[in-house]
């Protein structure tokens, strides 16, 4: 038994906290030297951490009889070691067509999908895969060729979510020596010797060429570089995460909205990372996202016009609205801006003395109204009511014919208090830079097509309290529960009508 490689693996597990005492570990095993070495070593050290191993093999159905022999080999191998074993056959060619990805990517998707299946069904905590130091270097070189940026220089990480890589500090020649000295006789995948694949070309041709021409060990050199880069990127990501928090106005599972004014003050590197991270938060990954997509989103944010939209991979769109940038899933198959849902209407008549209960945008509210006489009116400082407050005062005589609580309609007009004149409500929304997809979600108090109060915003100049006002109408919007706790009586009505969500 090769003790030096076991000591390396134990050190990797300890330093990177890969396995905890008492855990169950799903170990992927193909039958090749790397995975056979991994399972054999994990079995030897399992008593140290008191963890359980479950081996899982995926037959890709690509190499016919050869693949079936691989499956039989790993089954017998696990039986000899008394390791719980499972095997699944998956048609990778079929999956490749269904997912519109390469054969290699389809194989990776299938493996990790099945590993997670066994994690859930066996109550496991970790999935161990057999990437080694050579794989790490090959990945970095591939990323350089692809132009993936600094993140690509990190290569393969010791741990990602519940995926662990205990062999990442072990070179391929050490694995081969271990298999030989322990007479494991692993299977050799003939496709690994075919240099038509990029990784195989790097492994079989490029790395040996660099080592020979420059008299170096490029595997070790890349490993050191990746370690330094990983440390630096860890710091940058922490900084970018804090910066992103400052930029976020709204965050939902399918939509994130940023403040462009705050975003623009950060360094270009941080801005790009923020844009990448909001895509990742919504999409779940960055598959298919390239520098050109981040540039497209950045260009929209800082140079695009209001209402402009860009399409991104994964059925995402970026949309600019005044000083905000949102990234969300497309609501239709069309890449054009989302239209207002003008056919979803909400409207109730407001009782002038009492509590008006209703539902709007999926939430319950109460609009309390009260008519205040001349004596009480003297004690009210109307000027103290700020525009954003949910309580406002109006000239009752101007509204006593009846008012309604609703969302917008075609032909609505509004004369903002202290404004320059009457304008269309749409023009007011544009002036106030209210996003188009939010306008139908704003409550309005109206008399006919005249807007009395844009709730949470301005009131109308036409219905304000003045020196000639005798009676004042007080309107106050509250959450339903708050209203019930502080209910003051009156001709209570309950009107529930769903608005749009």
Rounded-to-integer distance, Cα 366 and Cα 442, Å: 15
| Count of Cβ atoms closer than 10 Å to residue 489 Cβ | 9
The pLDDT score that the predictor gives to residue 468 is 85
**What's the pLDDT tens digit per position in 167-193?**
999 999 999 999 999 999 999 876 666
Beta strands, E only, 163-302: 163-164, 248-252, 255-259
The candidate with the shortest Cα–Cα distance to 476, out of 494, 496, 455, 457, is 455
Q: Which residues fall within 8 angstroms of residue 238, CB to CB, at 6 or more apart?
A: none
Radius of gyration, alpha carbons of the chain: 33
DSSP state string for 428-481: HHHHTT--GGGGGGS-EEEETTEEEEETTS-BBGGG---TT--SEEEEEEEEHH
**What's the pLDDT tens digit per position in 257-308?**
999 999 999 999 999 999 999 999 999 888 778 888 899 899 999 988 887 8
Rounded-to-integer distance, Cα 134 and Cα 156, Å: 10
- For CA atoms 459, 462, 463, 466, the dihedral sign is positive
The pLDDT score that the predictor gives to residue 358 is 84
The pLDDT score that the predictor gives to residue 210 is 95
Rounded-to-integer distance, Cα 276 and Cα 384, Å: 44
The pLDDT score that the predictor gives to residue 155 is 93
pTM of the model: 0.63
The pLDDT score that the predictor gives to residue 488 is 40
Per DSSP, helices labelled H in 60-168 are 65-80, 92-99, 103-122, 133-146
> Which domains does the chain possess?
3-216 (3.40.50.620), 246-329 (3.30.465.60), 347-494 (no CATH)
DSSP 406: E
Binding residues: 30-35
Q: Which residues pair with 465 in a beta bridge?
A: none
Calculate the CA 432 to chain-centre distance.
30
- Ranges of the chain with pLDDT below 50: 332-343, 384, 484-501
Binding residues for ATP: 30-35
For residue 336, give both structure tokens: 């054009």
**What's the pLDDT tens digit per position in 304-335?**
888 788 888 888 889 988 899 999 987 543 33
The pLDDT score that the predictor gives to residue 90 is 92
Cα–Cα distances in angstroms (integers) from residue 464 to residues 176, 292, 486, in the given order: 86, 53, 26
Rounded-to-integer distance, Cα 225 and Cα 137, Å: 10
Per-position b or e across 432-461, b if 16+ CB within 10 A of its CB: eebbbbebbbbbbbbbeebbbbbbebbbbe
Cα–Cα distances in angstroms (integers) from residue 398 to residues 394, 395, 401, 412, 473, in the given order: 8, 6, 8, 18, 10
């Amino acid at each position: 038994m090769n003790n030096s490689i076991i000591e390396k693996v134990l050190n990797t597990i300890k330093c990177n906290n890969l396995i905890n005492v008492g855990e169950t570990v799903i170990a992927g095993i193909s039958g090749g030297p790397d995975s056979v070495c991994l399972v054999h070593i994990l079995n030897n050290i399992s008593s140290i951490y008191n963890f359980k191993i479950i081996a899982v093999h995926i037959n890709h159905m690509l190499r016919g009889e050869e693949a079936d022999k691989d499956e039989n080999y790993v089954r017998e191998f696990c039986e000899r070691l008394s390791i719980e074993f499972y095997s699944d056959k998956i048609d990778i060619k079929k999956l490749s067509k269904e997912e519109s990805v390469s054969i290699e990517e389809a194989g990776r998707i299938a493996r990790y999908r099945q590993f997670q299946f066994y994690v859930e069904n066996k109550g496991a905590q970790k999935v161990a895969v057999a990437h080694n130091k050579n794989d790490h270097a090959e990945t970095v070189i591939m990323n350089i060729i692809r132009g993936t940026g600094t993140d690509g220089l990190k290569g393969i990480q010791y741990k990602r979510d519940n995926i662990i890589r205990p062999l990442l500090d072990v070179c391929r020649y050490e694995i081969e020596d271990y298999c030989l000295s322990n007479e494991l006789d692993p299977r050799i995948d003939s496709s690994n010797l075919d240099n038509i694949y990029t990784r195989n070309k790097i492994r079989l041709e490029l790395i040996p060429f660099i080592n020979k021409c420059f008299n170096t060990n490029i595997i070790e050199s890349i490993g050191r570089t990746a370690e330094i880069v990983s440390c630096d990127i860890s710091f940058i990501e922490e900084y970018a995460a804090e910066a992103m928090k400052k930029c976020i106005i709204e965050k939902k599972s399918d939509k994130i909205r940023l403040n462009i004014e705050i975003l623009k003050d950060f360094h270009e590197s941080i801005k790009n990372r923020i844009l990448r991270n909001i895509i990742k938060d919504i999409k779940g990954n960055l598959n298919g996202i390239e520098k050109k997509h981040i540039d497209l989103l950045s260009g929209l944010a800082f140079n695009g016009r209001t209402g402009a939209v860009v399409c991104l991979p994964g059925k995402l769109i970026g949309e600019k609205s005044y000083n905000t940038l949102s990234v969300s899933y497309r609501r239709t198959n069309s890449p054009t801006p989302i239209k207002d849902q003008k056919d979803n209407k909400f409207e109730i008549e407001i009782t002038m003395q009492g509590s008006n209960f209703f539902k709007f945008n999926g939430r319950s509210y109460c609009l309390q109204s009260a008519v205040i006489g001349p004596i009480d009116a003297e004690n009210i400082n109307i000027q103290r009511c700020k525009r954003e407050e949910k309580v406002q005062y109006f000239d009752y005589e101007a509204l006593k014919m009846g008012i309604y609580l609703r969302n917008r309609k075609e032909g609505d007009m509004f004369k903002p208090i202290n404004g320059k004149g009457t304008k269309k409500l749409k023009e007011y929304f544009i002036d106030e830079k209210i996003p188009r997809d939010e306008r139908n979600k704003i409550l309005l108090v109206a008399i006919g097509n005249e807007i009395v109060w844009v709730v949470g915003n301005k009131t109308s100049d036409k219905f304000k309290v003045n020196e000639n006002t005798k009676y004042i109408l007080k309107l106050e919007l509250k959450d339903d529960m708050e209203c019930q706790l502080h209910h003051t009586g009156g001709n209570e009505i309950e009107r529930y009508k769903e608005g749009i969500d």
